[in-house]
């Protein structure tokens, strides 16, 4: 079956779109305006349970300067052309590099990839949106700076700006990325440029060290939103600690999640354990390097018996807690005793570090790398677990309380089981909150299974919301539904802001369910 | 000393580090090849028999496959613009590959080779070959088809599902690709 039909932005005539493309080529040069099918194909690859036809861009633009972005925005306003902004385009499982809806023009910022400043004294960086974690990591190593990054799991290929703007998380003590962001440069929909925080002061030396500036703090308005295009962002980097001790604690029973969280919470709040700890279920821990069909060929949820065999073969627990201590060797020794004592009380925990943890296998090696900010792509192995290219992250937030995690685990397993999917999950432990991250893996090549995954995800959103649990982030297929769970008053405020800042609705329409 | 990826690439230490000699030897003894390579070289990724067969199909159509070992999309991304690459990978590799090509390259064709069928997607117009095995393996037939698509001028998106012969032995789903950086 051949397809040659031209894709146009919604509500834009062919003549107007052609005129806009001419203007884009004048601003960017012809090589930076992509319109051919094989060039746009990478921007159509989605992993969520949506229809491929709903996520095809009409073009992609590749600016290299803020001036070019301003020119693009002005042209879009003139011709009412909607653009969908991506930084490195690695929001895999959340919409990847595809537009929010068919016809939108991709504004791909990956060529704006300058590391503008790294200050090793105050441990800050100022970056363009196309800078990847690998690029920044290389820069730090090549300049022998004693600084650590905090990458998310797709580390090397993702970028700090995009991940922070989508409020992503990592695994070091700097794991809550937006908390460690400081200062932005933003191109607004009218083509004007604003610098947030201290950035409005000409030649300010404190743009990357003082977040709040003067007057209302607005940086949050440009995260998970479509109110502007961030062209520079500051972030804080972690000084390399004198010592580092990653460790793993294994528990064997599903019900143990309650104890784990209740023991962990005071240690996290008091910063005895300072990093974003993960509590990883068997299927995630093994799924990064084991294929499902080795243990079970059925199309329903993997049975308990198979999970027990995986635990035996891989030497992993039902729950596997990956955490680390940072500081001087003396500090680590003191804190280690506190950790051992806290987790040792019930006699259920198997606590390991050093050679014992390394020999254990499972995910220790790559988890240890992530907790020290090293680059690693091991987690992509999850895509081989079930096969077929389908993946959606279902990520509700909870309090760091055992009762809530038990409730969420049971509810998720019940709904996933009803639709025949596996509970491939982990909890990421913040200071007081938890991100319950479930990878709904399915075969996108099978239309029936894709529909089932869609229905399952929709039910997860609704049923979790009924119990008071909202998502911290979601993929483009479900942004509207998730926005609905947060209530109309908040949506009205979002819309009012959108109408004020982007009256023509040209910036990423539909992002987080926000439209003009 | 622990080298960064950039340093490894600068020193040419990363690519081809895991080339199995047995596969190289298999090609060296290939028969039925075109008399003269007509099209130049193409990077070939993968580590099993399917890759060898794919390479054979490419050679028959006048390409010179350059074996690169298991697909490392990061390394592929560091190759010069215009480089043609093909081969087999797994789900994770395909996700990485397509993602890294955004704004950096072209997807000419993708194939998903399941137990029941071959699912081929071309951005270079219709797929001509039925992947029949009367002239060797389906992988070699795919190589010949990818060789043709590599120089085809079509731009239409074309999807074709080809049923595989009943009883054909299939151990696992294989994913093929043809891209230009």
ipTM for the complex shown: 0.89
Are A157 and B96 within 8 A, CB to CB?
yes
List, for residues A303-336, the tens digit of each pLDDT value.
999 999 999 999 999 999 999 999 999 999 999 9
Any idea how long chain A is?
Answer: 516
Smallest Cα–Cα separation from A87: which of A162, A147, A140, A148?
A162
How far lies A422's CA from each of A340, A417, A441, A442, B4, in Å?
A: 32, 7, 8, 9, 37
pLDDT at B165 over 80: no
Q: Which residues of A touch B124 (CB under 8 A)?
A: 38
CA distance A493 to A499: 10
- Span A134-141, average pLDDT: 96
Are B91 and A111 within 8 A, CB to CB?
no
Looking at residue A377, its pLDDT comes to 86
Task: Select from B2, B102, B110, B150 the residue whose CB has the most chain A CBs within 10 Å, as the one to mutate to test that interface.
Answer: B102
List, for residues A110-123, the tens digit of each pLDDT value.
999 999 999 999 99
Are A142 and B6 within 8 A, CB to CB?
yes
Q: What is the residue-averaged pLDDT of chain A?
A: 96
- Span A257-267, average pLDDT: 97
Would you place residue B167 in the very low, low, confident or very high pLDDT band (cuts 50, 70, 90)?
low
Residue A473 known to be catalytic: yes
Are A1 and B112 within 8 A, CB to CB?
no
% pLDDT > 90, chain A: 94
CA distance B20 to A452: 42
CA distance A219 to A76: 24
Are A108 and B102 within 8 A, CB to CB?
yes
pLDDT at A240 over 50: yes
Are B90 and A90 within 8 A, CB to CB?
no
CA distance A115 to A130: 9
Looking at A23, A268, A372, A473, which residue is catalytic? A473
- Which chain A residue's Cα is nearest to B101? A42
CA distance B98 to B110: 10
Distance from CA of B156 to the nearest CA of A (A): 5
Looking at residue B154, its pLDDT comes to 79
User: What angle, 0 to 180 degrees and rounded to 10, lies between the N-to-C axes of helices A402-419 and A257-269?
Assistant: 130
List, for residues A345-365, the tens digit of each pLDDT value.
999 999 999 999 999 878 899
Would you place residue A277 in the very low, low, confident or very high pLDDT band (cuts 50, 70, 90)?
very high
Residue A55 known to be catalytic: no
Looking at A43, A55, A94, A295, which residue is catalytic? A94
Are A37 and B123 within 8 A, CB to CB?
yes
pLDDT at B2 over 80: no
Q: Which residues of B touch A383 (CB under 8 A)?
A: 90-92, 95
Tabulate helix, strand, coil % of chain B (nearest 5): 30, 25, 45
List, for residues A198-227, the tens digit of each pLDDT value.
999 999 999 999 999 999 999 999 999 999
Q: Which residues of A touch B108 (CB under 8 A)?
A: 38
Task: Please check whether residue A366 is in contact with residue A378, taking contact to mean a CB–CB distance below 8 angstroms.
Answer: yes
Smallest Cα–Cα separation from A260: which of A88, A84, A402, A56?
A402
Q: Which residues of B touch A375 (CB under 8 A)?
A: 5
B154 vs A132: which has the higher pLDDT? A132
Are A384 and B4 within 8 A, CB to CB?
no
Planar angle of CA A386, A391, A395, nearest 5 degrees? 120
pLDDT at A489 over 90: yes
- Span B115-143, average pLDDT: 83
Q: What is the residue-averaged pLDDT of chain B?
A: 79
% pLDDT > 70, chain A: 99
pLDDT at B26 over 80: no
CB-nearest to A387 from B106, B123, B173 is B173
Segment among A239-248, B3-12, B95-104 with least mean pLDDT: B3-12
Looking at residue B169, its pLDDT comes to 66
pLDDT at A410 over 70: yes
CB-nearest to B102 from A3, A89, A389 is A89
CA distance A87 to A111: 9
CA distance B129 to B114: 17
* A111-170 residues touching B, CB cutoff 8 A: 111, 134, 137-138, 141-142, 156-157
- The model's pTM: 0.92
- Span A274-288, average pLDDT: 96
Question: Strand A147-148 vs strand A228-236: parallel, antiparallel, or unpaired?
Answer: unpaired
pLDDT at B134 over 80: no
Dihedrals phi, psi of B23, to nearest 5 degrees: -70, -40
Q: Which residues of B touch A97 (CB under 8 A)?
A: 99, 102
Are B91 and A389 within 8 A, CB to CB?
yes
- Which chain B residue's Cα is nearest to A33? B103
Residue A171 known to be catalytic: no
List, for residues A415-471, the tens digit of each pLDDT value.
999 999 999 999 999 999 999 999 999 999 999 999 999 999 999 999 999 999 999
Dihedrals phi, psi of A33, to nearest 5 degrees: -120, 110
Judge whether A378 is closer than 8 Å to chain B, CB to CB: no
CA distance B76 to B80: 9
Looking at residue A244, its pLDDT comes to 97
List, for residues A18-39, the tens digit of each pLDDT value.
999 999 999 999 999 999 999 9
Looking at residue B23, its pLDDT comes to 43
């Amino acid at each position: 079956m051949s397809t040659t039909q031209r894709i146009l932005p919604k509500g834009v005539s062919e003549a107007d779109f052609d005129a806009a493309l001419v203007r884009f080529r004048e601003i960017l040069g012809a090589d930076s305006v992509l319109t051919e099918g094989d060039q746009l194909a990478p921007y159509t690859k989605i992993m969520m349970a949506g229809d491929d036809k709903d996520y095809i861009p009409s073009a992609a633009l590749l600016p290299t300067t803020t001036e070019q972005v301003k020119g693009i925005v002005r042209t879009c306003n003139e011709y009412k052309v909607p653009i969908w902004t991506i930084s490195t385009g690695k929001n895999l499982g959340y919409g990847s590099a595809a537009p929010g809806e068919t016809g939108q023009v991709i504004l791909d910022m990956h060529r704006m990839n300058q590391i503008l400043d790294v200050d090793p004294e105050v441990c800050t960086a100022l970056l363009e949106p196309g800078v990847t974690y690998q690029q920044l990591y290389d820069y730090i190593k090549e300049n022998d700076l004693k600084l650590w990054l905090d990458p998310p799991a797709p580390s090397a290929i993702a970028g700090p700006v995009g991940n922070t703007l989508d409020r992503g998380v990592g695994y070091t003590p700097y794991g809550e990325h937006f908390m460690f962001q400081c200062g932005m440069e933003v191109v607004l929909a009218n083509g004007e440029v604003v610098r947030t925080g201290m950035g409005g002061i000409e030649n300010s030396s404190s743009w990357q060290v003082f977040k709040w500036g003067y007057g209302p703090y607005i940086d949050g308005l440009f995260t998970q939103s479509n109110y502007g295009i961030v062209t520079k962002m500051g972030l804080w980097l972690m000084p390399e600690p004198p010592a580092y001790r990653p460790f793993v604690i294994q528990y064997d029973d599903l019900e143990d999640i309650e104890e784990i969280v209740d023991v962990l919470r005071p240690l996290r709040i008091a910063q005895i354990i300072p990093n974003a700890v993960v509590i990883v279920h068997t299927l995630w821990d093994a799924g990064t390097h084991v294929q499902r069909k080795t243990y079970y060929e059925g199309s329903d949820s993997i049975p308990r018996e198979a999970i027990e065999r995986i635990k035996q073969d891989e030497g992993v627990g039902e729950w596997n807690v990956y955490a680390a201590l940072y500081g001087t060797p003396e500090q680590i020794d003191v804190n280690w005793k506190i950790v051992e004592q806290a987790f040792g009380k019930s006699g259920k925990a198997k606590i390991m570090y050093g050679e014992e943890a390394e020999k254990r296998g499972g995910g220790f090696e790559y988890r240890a790398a992530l907790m020290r900010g090293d680059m690693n792509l091991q987690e992509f192995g999850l895509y081989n677990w079930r096969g077929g290219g389908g993946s959606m992250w279902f990520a509700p937030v909870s309090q760091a309380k055992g009762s809530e995690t038990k409730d969420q685990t049971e509810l998720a397993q019940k709904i996933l089981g009803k639709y025949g999917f596996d509970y491939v999950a982990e909890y990421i432990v913040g200071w007081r909150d938890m991100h319950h991250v479930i990878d709904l893996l399915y075969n996108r090549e099978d239309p029936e299974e894709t529909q089932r995954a869609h229905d399952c995800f929709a039910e997860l959103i609704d049923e979790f919301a009924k119990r008071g649990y909202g998502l911290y982030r979601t993929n483009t297929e479900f942004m509207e539904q998730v926005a609905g769970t947060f209530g109309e008053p908040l949506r009205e405020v979002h819309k009012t802001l959108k109408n004020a800042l982007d009256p023509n609705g040209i910036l990423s329409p539909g992002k987080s369910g926000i439209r003009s | 000393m622990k080298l960064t990826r950039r340093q490894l690439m600068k020193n040419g230490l990363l690519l081809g580090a895991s080339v199995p000699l047995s596969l190289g030897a298999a090609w060296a003894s290939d028969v039925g090849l075109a008399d003269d390579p007509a099209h130049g070289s193409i990077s070939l990724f993968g580590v099993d028999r399917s890759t060898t067969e794919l390479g054979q199909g490419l050679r028959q159509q006048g390409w010179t496959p350059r074996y690169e070992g298991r697909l490392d999309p990061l390394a592929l991304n560091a190759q010069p613009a215009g480089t043609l690459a093909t081969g087999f990978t797994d789900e994770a590799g395909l996700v990485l590959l397509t993602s890294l090509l955004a704004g950096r390259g072209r997807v000419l064709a993708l194939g998903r080779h399941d137990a029941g069928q071959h699912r081929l997607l071309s951005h270079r117009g219709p797929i001509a070959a039925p992947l029949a095995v009367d002239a060797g393996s389906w992988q070699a037939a795919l190589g010949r088809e990818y060789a043709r698509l590599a120089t085809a001028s079509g731009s239409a998106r074309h999807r074709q599902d080809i049923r595989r012969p009943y009883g054909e032995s299939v151990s696992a789903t294989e994913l093929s690709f043809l891209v230009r950086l």
